[in-house]
A and B are shown apart, each in its own frame.
With several copies, the nearest count.
Chain A
């Protein structure tokens, strides 16, 4: 069986090596986050939940993953 290639991305300032072709929801799951509880900005573009669901991770992607939290 062929080994899948790894691509490098940055999420919230940290570097991650992930399988090529992985989806954003899959990546989030891999780090114990759910697409339902976060909002993601990919390469400076904020993603709607719909867009986020259908996004595939690409090499060099820069992600900001944020939550809605308490604030005044």
Chain B
């Protein structure tokens, strides 16, 4: 229903996805709202994280997250958040695969606690190992075209440059660098992090991003289900615009009504 506008499917690592909106599962107030929001978003790829279990007996509220996600409908994409370096990220990826999740990983290594910006050196090191082990690797990166190219050389399935810091809702702040990444990309580019409003995701798609990932702006909205739909609509709208070729931007006006000699 929402997916009513026919756009080209997203293809990552030879797998076809109907939606170009990836959704994160963090920060929702309940499992039910998370499930309904993801449903409303039309997403085909949904991220999850891994976390040390508490051994002191108290129940984790979301410990049963997989009960809310139908692995037949979505690709469940584990991330490596919390990893401080390449080695930890690799271990997390392997744990996720051991748990039966698909051998895909959103590789994110961001030791800085304030801005959660990805460390390119550790990310490259981890990507190299994981690609060799057969993982489909989707690395979260700063908007650095050189790092993006290196990760593609290594064999990553996408690159995921950040628009702005995770959860900041500031939109696309490194537009110029992302344009270069898009121009040079040989794999799908997913803009991740900081996309806080439908105009941000529309704009990302209009620039030519292959997909976007949204989490905070949906999860903490007053009504996450409607917000999820809103983002889904904006992603479609932006993609249609991109596929059609951007409007010509002019300096001067160009009349939409006849102007000459209306009345004497």
Contacts and interface: CB of A to CB of B under 8 A. Distances in A.
B97 interface: yes
Interface in A53-68: 64-68
Given A13-B264, A44-B91, A66 B53 contact: yes
Interface string B57-87: 1001011111000000000001101000000
Given A31-B57, A41-B91, A46-B94, A71 B63 contact: no
Given A70-B62, A71-B79, A48 B57 contact: no
Contacts, number: 120
B63 A49 contact: no
A33 interface: yes
Interface stretch (B20-28, B117-125, B146-154, B176-184): B20-28
Contacts of A39: 50, 95-96, 98-99
B51 interface: yes
A57 to B, nearest CB: 15
A68 B69 CA distance: 12
| Interface band, chain A | 20 to 34
Q: Which of A14, A48, A49, A67 has the most CB of B within 10 A?
A: A67
A67 B262 CA distance: 11
A39 B24 CA distance: 21
A68 B52 contact: no
Interface of A: 11-14, 31-33, 37-39, 41, 44, 46-49, 51, 64-72
Given A67-B53, A70-B28, A71-B49, 4 more contacts: A12-B52, A37-B63, A68-B99, A72-B26
15 contacts: A12-B52, A14-B55, A31-B55, A39-B95, A66-B51, A68-B96, A68-B101, A69-B49, A69-B258, A70-B28, A71-B50, A72-B26, A72-B81, A72-B219, A72-B255
